[in-house]
Amino acid sequence: MLSSPLQQYLNKSGYTSFHPQAVLFDMDGVLYDSMPYHVQAWSETAIHHALKHTPEDFYLFEGRTGEGTIQELFQRTFKRNATPEECEAIYKEKAERFNSYNQGATMKGAAEVLAKVKAYDLQTLVVTGSGQHSLIDKLNHDFPGYFVREKMVTAYDVKRGKPDPEPYLMGLEKAGVKANEALVVENAPMGVQAAVAAGIFTIAVNTGPLPDSVLWDAGANLLFHDMTELEMNWESIMHALLS
């Protein structure tokens, strides 16, 4: 089952071998069950500013910077860019709504996936477009022993959001590994695109409402429907990739 995804990865990336040493985890929708609150906060903010949108848009835009999302909605609605002041005010409003709704719940199965990754002696890193200052404290509280600040990529570290490969390229740099020495776990189409553009073997976990085809089309090498399913398949993935 897994030999062909590996072969497809090697064919596409141009590498002749694959030796995983690190796993780069996206955060929202992978480690935390936070996407419904992001979507609620974006939808209400968009309604407040009469910006054309559907809830699905925010799952499709996931991984972009806040400014990228606001510009897309402004172009669509008003055929112009938002001013820096508009961007800042609207993003602040969205963030306040999100913070008031978000329960901080971890994704079911995420801790178990991390434990299995660690059992294979692979480094664990977070690569996120999120920019909360207390993120590392929260990660250390919810998933103790897996993450250190020096090896995190957040909104403060990168200029370009996903689908640009920059966040994942920086993740490789922080891990000290090459693209064919890492795996990415991602839930969003633009996140998958970013990881694939960085040349990394990418496991999609479809924890949201979009059809699987959107993640396959973005270039995912493997796809599971939740973190528990990924955890249950981890040994066979490692067996296929390490053999």
Contact set with Ca ion (CB under 5 A): 26, 28-29, 187-188
Q: Would you say 26 or 181 has its CB closer to Ca ion? A: 26
- Which structure tokens are listed for 222? 């493997």
Q: Would you say 26 or 166 has its CB closer to Ca ion? A: 26
What letter would DSSP give residue 61?
S
Q: Would you say 19 or 225 has its CB closer to Ca ion? A: 225
Q: Is 200 exposed, middle or buried (0-12, 13-18, 19+ CB in 10 A)?
A: buried
CB of 30 to Ca ion, least distance (A): 6
> Omega into 163 within 30° of 0, i.e. cis?
yes
CB of 137 to Ca ion, least distance (A): 20
Radius of gyration in angstroms for the set of CA atoms belonging to the chain, rounded to a whole number? 18
In angstroms, the CA 213 to CA 223 distance is 10
Cβ-closest position to Ca ion: 29
CB of 126 to Ca ion, least distance (A): 11
Q: How far is CA 166 from CA 154, 193, 233, in A?
A: 11, 11, 29
CB of 101 to Ca ion, least distance (A): 17
Q: Would you say 22 or 190 has its CB closer to Ca ion? A: 190
Q: What are phi and psi of 222, to 5 degrees?
A: -140, 155
